[in-house]
Structure 1
Protein backbone atom coordinates (compact mmCIF):
# COMPACT_ATOMS: atom_id res chain seq x y z
CA UNK A 1 0.00 0.00 0.00
CA UNK A 2 1.20 3.52 -0.77
CA UNK A 3 1.26 6.32 1.78
CA UNK A 4 1.74 10.04 1.22
CA UNK A 5 3.73 11.75 3.97
CA UNK A 6 3.09 15.50 3.98
CA UNK A 7 5.31 17.53 6.28
CA UNK A 8 5.33 21.24 7.06
CA UNK A 9 8.45 22.78 8.56
CA UNK A 10 8.36 24.88 11.70
CA UNK A 11 8.65 28.56 10.75
CA UNK A 12 12.20 29.91 10.90
CA UNK A 13 13.84 26.47 10.70
CA UNK A 14 15.42 26.67 7.24
CA UNK A 15 18.96 26.38 8.64
CA UNK A 16 18.01 23.22 10.54
CA UNK A 17 16.69 21.78 7.27
CA UNK A 18 19.88 22.68 5.42
CA UNK A 19 22.11 21.29 8.17
CA UNK A 20 20.17 18.01 8.34
CA UNK A 21 19.72 17.56 4.58
CA UNK A 22 22.69 15.21 3.96
CA UNK A 23 21.48 12.76 6.64
CA UNK A 24 17.90 13.07 5.35
CA UNK A 25 18.98 12.25 1.78
CA UNK A 26 21.05 9.28 2.96
CA UNK A 27 18.03 7.97 4.87
CA UNK A 28 15.76 8.32 1.85
CA UNK A 29 18.27 6.67 -0.47
CA UNK A 30 18.51 3.72 1.93
CA UNK A 31 14.75 3.15 1.72
CA UNK A 32 15.32 1.59 -1.69
CA UNK A 33 12.22 0.67 -3.64
CA UNK A 34 9.94 1.51 -0.70
CA UNK A 35 10.43 5.19 -1.61
CA UNK A 36 8.42 5.97 -4.73
CA UNK A 37 9.25 9.69 -4.91
CA UNK A 38 10.05 12.63 -2.67
CA UNK A 39 10.82 16.33 -2.71
CA UNK A 40 10.44 19.59 -0.84
CA UNK A 41 7.57 22.04 -0.83
CA UNK A 42 8.74 25.57 -1.64
CA UNK A 43 7.75 28.94 -0.23
CA UNK A 44 7.09 32.10 -2.30
CA UNK A 45 10.86 32.74 -2.45
CA UNK A 46 11.60 29.22 -3.73
CA UNK A 47 13.07 28.06 -0.41
CA UNK A 48 12.10 24.64 1.00
CA UNK A 49 9.52 24.70 3.77
CA UNK A 50 8.17 21.17 3.89
CA UNK A 51 8.38 17.71 2.36
CA UNK A 52 6.29 15.30 0.33
CA UNK A 53 7.22 11.62 0.28
CA UNK A 54 5.31 8.69 -1.15
CA UNK A 55 6.37 5.36 0.28
CA UNK A 56 5.24 1.78 0.13
CA UNK A 57 4.48 0.13 3.47
CA UNK A 58 2.41 -2.79 4.68
CA UNK A 59 0.21 -0.66 6.94
CA UNK A 60 -0.16 2.79 8.48
CA UNK A 61 1.95 1.98 11.54
CA UNK A 62 4.85 0.93 9.31
CA UNK A 63 4.56 4.20 7.37
CA UNK A 64 4.53 6.13 10.65
CA UNK A 65 7.70 4.31 11.70
CA UNK A 66 9.48 5.24 8.48
CA UNK A 67 8.43 8.88 8.88
CA UNK A 68 9.51 8.97 12.53
CA UNK A 69 13.03 7.75 11.70
CA UNK A 70 13.64 10.44 9.07
CA UNK A 71 16.51 12.67 10.28
CA UNK A 72 14.35 15.74 9.64
CA UNK A 73 11.75 14.36 12.02
CA UNK A 74 14.38 13.34 14.59
CA UNK A 75 15.85 16.88 14.45
CA UNK A 76 12.45 18.42 15.23
CA UNK A 77 12.11 20.20 11.88
CA UNK A 78 8.44 19.51 11.27
CA UNK A 79 5.53 21.47 12.68
CA UNK A 80 3.04 18.98 11.25
CA UNK A 81 3.19 15.54 9.66
CA UNK A 82 0.17 14.02 7.94
CA UNK A 83 0.35 10.41 6.71
CA UNK A 84 -2.43 9.23 4.43
CA UNK A 85 -3.06 6.14 2.30
CA UNK A 86 -2.69 7.08 -1.35
CA UNK A 87 -3.64 5.55 -4.68
CA UNK A 88 -1.29 6.30 -7.60
CA UNK A 89 -3.94 6.32 -10.31
CA UNK A 90 -2.39 8.41 -13.12
CA UNK A 91 1.10 7.97 -14.67
CA UNK A 92 2.00 5.18 -12.28
CA UNK A 93 5.06 3.47 -13.80
CA UNK A 94 3.97 0.17 -12.23
CA UNK A 95 0.97 0.19 -14.59
CA UNK A 96 3.08 0.61 -17.75
Structure 2
Protein backbone atom coordinates (compact mmCIF):
# COMPACT_ATOMS: atom_id res chain seq x y z
CA UNK A 1 0.00 0.00 0.00
CA UNK A 2 1.24 3.48 -0.79
CA UNK A 3 1.08 6.37 1.63
CA UNK A 4 1.96 10.05 1.28
CA UNK A 5 3.33 11.92 4.28
CA UNK A 6 3.11 15.69 4.04
CA UNK A 7 5.26 17.43 6.64
CA UNK A 8 4.78 20.96 7.91
CA UNK A 9 7.78 22.62 9.58
CA UNK A 10 7.64 25.28 12.25
CA UNK A 11 10.33 28.00 12.31
CA UNK A 12 12.36 25.99 14.87
CA UNK A 13 12.81 23.17 12.33
CA UNK A 14 15.62 25.02 10.54
CA UNK A 15 17.98 24.37 13.48
CA UNK A 16 16.90 20.70 13.58
CA UNK A 17 17.60 20.38 9.84
CA UNK A 18 21.08 21.85 10.23
CA UNK A 19 21.96 19.60 13.16
CA UNK A 20 20.42 16.34 11.97
CA UNK A 21 20.72 16.43 8.17
CA UNK A 22 23.46 13.74 7.91
CA UNK A 23 21.50 11.35 10.17
CA UNK A 24 18.26 12.09 8.28
CA UNK A 25 19.84 11.39 4.88
CA UNK A 26 21.37 8.15 6.22
CA UNK A 27 17.92 7.17 7.54
CA UNK A 28 16.34 7.78 4.12
CA UNK A 29 19.04 5.67 2.47
CA UNK A 30 18.65 2.90 5.04
CA UNK A 31 14.89 2.76 4.37
CA UNK A 32 14.89 3.46 0.61
CA UNK A 33 12.83 0.34 -0.14
CA UNK A 34 9.97 1.76 1.98
CA UNK A 35 10.50 5.53 1.60
CA UNK A 36 10.38 5.58 -2.18
CA UNK A 37 10.50 9.33 -2.75
CA UNK A 38 11.33 12.04 -0.25
CA UNK A 39 12.30 15.67 -0.30
CA UNK A 40 11.89 19.11 1.18
CA UNK A 41 9.18 21.60 0.23
CA UNK A 42 9.69 25.33 -0.28
CA UNK A 43 7.25 28.07 -1.16
CA UNK A 44 9.60 29.33 -3.88
CA UNK A 45 12.87 28.18 -5.48
CA UNK A 46 15.77 28.85 -3.11
CA UNK A 47 13.44 29.83 -0.29
CA UNK A 48 13.55 28.29 3.18
CA UNK A 49 12.14 24.82 3.71
CA UNK A 50 8.58 24.83 5.01
CA UNK A 51 8.03 21.09 5.08
CA UNK A 52 8.59 17.90 3.18
CA UNK A 53 6.91 15.06 1.33
CA UNK A 54 7.46 11.29 1.30
CA UNK A 55 5.90 8.53 -0.75
CA UNK A 56 5.97 5.42 1.42
CA UNK A 57 5.36 1.73 0.67
CA UNK A 58 4.04 0.13 3.86
CA UNK A 59 1.56 -2.63 4.57
CA UNK A 60 -0.14 -0.76 7.40
CA UNK A 61 -0.60 2.75 8.71
CA UNK A 62 1.33 1.75 11.85
CA UNK A 63 4.37 0.82 9.72
CA UNK A 64 4.23 4.17 7.91
CA UNK A 65 3.91 6.04 11.22
CA UNK A 66 6.91 4.15 12.64
CA UNK A 67 9.02 5.16 9.61
CA UNK A 68 8.02 8.80 10.06
CA UNK A 69 8.41 8.99 13.81
CA UNK A 70 11.79 7.22 13.90
CA UNK A 71 13.31 9.66 11.40
CA UNK A 72 15.90 11.97 13.02
CA UNK A 73 14.02 14.95 11.54
CA UNK A 74 10.85 14.09 13.43
CA UNK A 75 10.64 16.44 16.40
CA UNK A 76 6.94 16.90 17.25
CA UNK A 77 7.49 20.40 18.65
CA UNK A 78 8.98 21.50 15.30
CA UNK A 79 7.32 19.31 12.68
CA UNK A 80 3.86 17.92 12.15
CA UNK A 81 2.65 15.57 9.45
CA UNK A 82 -0.43 14.37 7.65
CA UNK A 83 -0.50 10.76 6.45
CA UNK A 84 -2.77 9.82 3.54
CA UNK A 85 -3.33 6.67 1.49
CA UNK A 86 -2.30 7.26 -2.11
CA UNK A 87 -3.41 5.42 -5.24
CA UNK A 88 -1.15 5.96 -8.23
CA UNK A 89 -3.04 6.55 -11.50
CA UNK A 90 -0.85 4.42 -13.79
CA UNK A 91 0.79 1.04 -13.09
CA UNK A 92 4.56 0.58 -13.03
CA UNK A 93 7.44 2.37 -11.42
CA UNK A 94 7.80 6.11 -11.52
CA UNK A 95 10.96 7.41 -13.14
CA UNK A 96 11.89 10.98 -12.32
TM-score range for the pair, normalised by the shorter chain length: 0.7 to 0.9
Task: Measure the CA separation in 2 of the matches of 1:75 and 1:16.
Answer: 11
**Residues in 1 aligned to 2:42 and 2:91: alpha-carbon distance in whole angstroms:** 23
1:39 Cα deviation after fit = 0.6
Give me the TM-score of the superposition, normalised by structure 1. Answer: 0.83
**Greater helix proportion:** 1
In structure 1, stretches of 5+ residues that fail to align are none
Q: Compute the RMSD of aligned alpha carbons.
A: 2.1
- Contact 2:8–2:51 (CA<8 Å) still a contact in 1? yes
- Secondary structure at the aligned position of 1:61 is classed as helix
Equivalent pair of 2:42/2:50 in contact (CA under 8 Å)? yes
Structure 2 unmatched ranges of 5 or more: none
Query: Structure 1 stretch 25-34 or stretch 45-54: which is displaced more?
Result: 45-54
Give the structure-2-normalised TM-score. 0.83
